[in-house]
Chains A and B, each alone.
Chain A
Amino acid sequence: MIDSILLVDDENLFHLVFEDACSLLDITLNLQSMTSADRAADLFKVWQKKPKGKPDCVFVDLNIIGSSFNGIELTRKINYEYGNGVVIGIISSSADNEEMGKAINAGAQFWIVKSDDIEPRLEEFKKDYAGYSNRSNEFKVYK
């Protein structure tokens, strides 16, 4: 089980889906959800100095409407500006190869394609999590 997860997604309904799926699959007991990439970046800035409450794993939506930057930019910021060892990846309904390339460059470790049936993908991710945590897994797309 992952100690703590942060989900950054502008779609509130998906927060409910993700929370229920995480609970049913015993993925985590500590899930934080937010709708703004700016808020997430601010929190990581704080966690850089005081790591208490920092999540172990971050799921970022590709297009976060209403934020100053998109999911790839947030991933890049978390990895290269404020990051120190969090597992981070993109969760999006898109499966665009060009965007995936950008995500890899930004330091994303995985890409989960958001669809009606997300549980099998999350279950597979749960199995692979240890590899992401110790940085031995390569970038993987769950679709």
Chain B
Amino acid sequence: MKISFCKKDIDQLIKLSEEKNIFLEGNIVKVIETDSEIFKDYILKAKEKDDTARKKRLEITRQVQDQNKLLEKKAKEKENLMDDLKLALSDAEGAKEAAINDLDLIQKKSQFELMGQIIRVALWVIMSVGVLTSVLYIVALYTRGSGPDTTLIGNTWSNLLGILLTNSFSIVGTIMGVKYANDKKEE
């Protein structure tokens, strides 16, 4: 389907284009029919202007499309990065917890080792003193019989044994107490 304009309209359109540089735009330009050479030139110019504007718009639209694609890509990358970070954070928290547990275990182990050493040394001291005083008392009994020195050594021996026994129970009791307190703290 083609359309045509009357002479008056054609003159007005041409005048408008010459004075204000305003042309018809869009697909309507493609359906105008005319015999006037001047109006044919006008239509040609209008088409050229329209094509130029469309090419420019096409270029800009493409740039916007490209930018949108880039933004989408960046958003996806950011999302992936966030996922990786969350995963790394979770791993780090797990490692931290494991390290704390290991440290606790090491501390407890060294505490138990220390306690064991203390008990061992204490028992050795107690046993050595007990054996030493007992030997001294036996020697006194055999060499001096039941004299006043022997009685004094016998009293000392019994006192010493009593003290050593009390001390050894005290050590064991303290150690058990510390162990019980630690177990309670863990709970």
Instruction: Give which listed residue, A17, A23, A26, contacts B65 with CB less than 8 A.
Output: A17
Task: Provide the residues of chain B in CB contact with A24, threshold 8 Å.
Answer: 51, 54-55, 58
Task: Provide the residues of chain A in CB contact with B68, threshold 8 Å.
Answer: 13
- Asked if A16 is at the interface of the complex by the 8 Å CB criterion, the answer is yes
- Residues 41-65 (chain B) with a chain A CB within 8 angstroms: 50-51, 54-55, 57-58, 61-62, 64-65
Task: Provide the residues of chain B in CB contact with A16, threshold 8 Å.
Answer: 57-58, 61
Q: Would you call the interface of chain A mostly helix, strand, loop, or mixed? A: helix
- Against B, the Cβ 8 Å flags (1 = close, 0 = not) of A1-41 are 00000000000011011001101101001000000000000
Asked if A20 and B57 sit within 8 Å, CB to CB, the answer is yes
- Asked if B33 is at the interface of the complex by the 8 Å CB criterion, the answer is no
Give the CA-CA distance A116 to B67 in the complex, in Å: 12
Closest chain B residue, CB of each to CB of A28: B27
Interface residues on B, range: 10 to 19
Instruction: Give which listed residue, B30, B61, B66, contacts A20 with CB less than 8 A.
Output: B61
Instruction: Give which listed residue, B27, B30, B54, B65, contacts A13 with CB less than 8 A.
Output: B65
CB distance from A35 to the nearest CB of B (A): 16
Binding site for B on A (CB under 8 A): 13-14, 16-17, 20-21, 23-24, 26, 29, 116
Binding site for A on B (CB under 8 A): 26-27, 30-31, 50-51, 54-55, 57-58, 61-62, 64-66, 68
28 contacts between A and B (CB under 8 A): A13-B61, A13-B64, A13-B68, A14-B65, A16-B57, A16-B61, A17-B58, A17-B62, A17-B65, A20-B54, A20-B55, A20-B57, A20-B58, A20-B61, A23-B26, A23-B27, A23-B50, A23-B54, A24-B51, A24-B54, A24-B55, A24-B58, A26-B30, A29-B27, A29-B30, A29-B31, A116-B62, A116-B65
